[in-house]
Amino acid sequence: MKSIIYYFTGTGNNLQVAKKIAESLPDCKLVSMGKGRHDSNEVYDYIGFVYPTYAFNLPRRVTQFISEMSLEKSKNAYFFAVTGCGGASGVALTALAKILENKGITLNFAEKISMVSNYVAMYKMNERNPEKYQIATDRIPALVQKITAKTQQPAGKVNELLNVSTSIAPKLIFPRKDKGFNVSDACTGCGTCEAVCPAANIVMKNKKPSFNHNCEQCMACVQWCPKMAINYKNKTQSRGRYTNPSISLKELIEGNNS
């Protein structure tokens, strides 16, 4: 038996969840959805997708990745999806179910898990984040147990009105642009921002980050910068930072590069 989990993460929250699930599945491989198209010749018994909710919807990169991938050889696998979110998940699960349905695949299990909210461009990092992180961590084993048992828990049908509204929401709430990012003189040119970006949107030029207009606004560059040199407009300079305590910088970068 073989398993594979495709994940997308900026601060490490969803990699933490994906790792915990992978530990309980047979011969499980982790693949970042920040990569290009991924088609496998392997036949899998479990296929999972773990990703954050952005503006009540899927990250654009996740939608593109899953829409383009071929799953023909594993249509009989147990398919599951988990979305990490700070509040409501909107259509982040039902929209994925629809993408798979168009491929002739049923999403067997779908569930959201409340994680630490970290969109620092909109709000300060909560002083209770360590407590919230622990609450989220304590919820993961029950989720893992459901998946390993191949629990049937469909995402439900897509509410078309909700789907339309949430497709508009990102443009209104989270403008998917990087023109608001700026780099201070504190930047040392270490390249951390380039390495952690799950959308491969940052390239170092003359020892400074250059943004290539394919941003997901995951805030990984802001949150992981060791000098707090990257900021969004004039909003984040005095705000704290958050990265998942279970995920090291090295581990996140290796996941992006593997």
Same domain assignment for residues 164 and 189: no
pLDDT digits (tens, 9 = 90+) for 204-224: 999 999 999 889 999 999 999
Same domain assignment for residues 185 and 60: no
Residue 183 in this model has a pLDDT that exceeds 80:
yes
Among 137, 170, 203, which residue terminates a domain?
170
Task: With cut-offs at 50, 70 and 90, classify the pLDDT of residue 178.
Answer: confident
Same domain assignment for residues 138 and 188: no
Asked whether residue 64 is assigned to any structural domain, the reply reads: yes
Same domain assignment for residues 202 and 159: no
Same domain assignment for residues 33 and 56: yes
Which residue segment(s) compose the domain that 193 sits in? 181-257
pLDDT digits (tens, 9 = 90+) for 153-170: 999 754 544 554 455 555
pLDDT at residue 84, as a whole number: 96
pLDDT digits (tens, 9 = 90+) for 87-146: 888 889 999 999 999 999 999 999 999 999 999 999 999 999 999 999 999 999 999 999
The two three-digit tokens of residue 247, written as one number: 């995920």
* Average pLDDT rounded to a whole number, residues 219-233: 97
Same domain assignment for residues 101 and 223: no
Among 170, 195, 214, which residue terminates a domain?
170
Among 118, 151, 170, which residue terminates a domain?
170
pLDDT digits (tens, 9 = 90+) for 16-27: 999 999 999 999
Asked whether residue 153 is assigned to any structural domain, the reply reads: yes
Task: Please report which residue ranges of the chain form alpha helices under DSSP H.
Answer: 13-23, 60-68, 94-101, 129-148, 160-173, 192-196, 220-224, 249-257
pLDDT at residue 167, as a whole number: 54
Q: Classify residue 54 by its DSSP letter.
A: B
Number of domains into which the chain is organized = 2
Sort strands 202-205 and 208-211 into parallel, antiparallel or unpaired. antiparallel
If you average pLDDT over every residue of the chain, what do you get? 90
Q: Classify residue 11 by its DSSP letter.
A: S
Same domain assignment for residues 149 and 22: yes
The two three-digit tokens of residue 187, written as one number: 């930047």
